[in-house]
Amino acid sequence: MRSFLYGLICICIFVQVCHSQRIASSVSRVPRVSIRVVDKETLQPIDARILITNQHVDHSITPLFEDKSYKYKLTLTDTVNISIYAVGYHMLNESLVIGEINGVETYYLTANHSSSESQHTAGNPILAEEISAIIYFSQSNTDIAPRSVRHLERVGAYLQKNKVSAVSLQGHTDNVGDPQKNMLLSIDRNSVVRSYLLKSSDLDGLISSKSFGGSKPAAPNDCEQNKRFNRRVEVRLSLPN
């Protein structure tokens, strides 16, 4: 079954993550995974049409429209094809293994400058979302998760071309290990992101960092898939007035 989403910037996917739990008891543990669609150059959210199909022909995806979001129940073994369309942009196609997803999946569309209907806005946009990017990390270290590398690269590319008044970093961990060590780990993760951004642009004096250890989880720390969503650095960009 194919599902079209019109005029939505993001959708939510409910993923069944704790296989050892009964479905009835694990509903509250299913994380919401948002898919964001943004302009590759400006990082500005854009209206998009998203087509999701499951690669398993005998396993259809049936969306439920609840709380103004389309939601899907999938398992970690599912692989889906995502096609994203937006007026004035080149189409994007990608396969996504549900077991590899992050808490927020961001897709970057390239403006089709030959189109007269482009949504692309020149200059500094007004960033509609407070969190500009979320960078995820491997467990108990400062290695950036493979799917997050491109997000950090896009933020760096944006900063090379646009001026900002401030960059805020907020580092987090899951609840594995000693809380004091987790606090230090969240500091180190902030430092990794900070070092990359400083290499990308002249941000001297503009970057501030806060570290929270495991005190502010984005998802319950009840299984590994959820813990992955908590090992993160949230990047917020503030634009000049």
pLDDT, tens digit (0-9, with 9 covering 90-100), for 198-227: 998 889 899 999 999 999 998 889 888 789
Task: Say how far apart CA 11 and CA 132 lie, in whole Å.
Answer: 17
More confident: 46 or 176: 176
> What average pLDDT does the chain have?
76
Structure tokens belonging to residue 140:
């108990």
Cβ atoms of 43 and 121 closer than 8 Å: no
What residues form DSSP beta bridges with 54?
80
Q: How does pLDDT run across 104-138, given as a tens digit for each residue?
A: 788 889 988 765 554 544 333 334 345 788 999 99
Give the pairing type, strands 166-171 and 64-66: unpaired
pTM of the model: 0.67
The yes-or-no verdict on residue 15 having pLDDT over 60 is no
User: For position 226, what pLDDT does the model report?
Assistant: 83
Biggest distance spanned by C-alpha atoms of the chain: 56
User: For position 76, what pLDDT does the model report?
Assistant: 65
Give the pairing type, strands 232-238 and 166-171: antiparallel
pLDDT (average), residues 6-27: 43
User: For position 71, what pLDDT does the model report?
Assistant: 59
Domains of the chain: 1-112 (2.60.40), 130-241 (3.30.1330.60)
Q: Coil, strand, or helix at residue 71?
A: strand
Give the pairing type, strands 73-75 and 133-136: unpaired
Burial of 193 (0-12, 13-18, 19+ CB in 10 A): buried
How many degrees, rounded to 5, is the angle at CA 16 between CA 130 and CA 183?
50
Task: Say how far apart CA 111 and CA 93 lie, in whole Å.
Answer: 15
User: For position 93, what pLDDT does the model report?
Assistant: 87
The yes-or-no verdict on residue 24 having pLDDT over 50 is no
The yes-or-no verdict on residue 56 having pLDDT over 80 is no
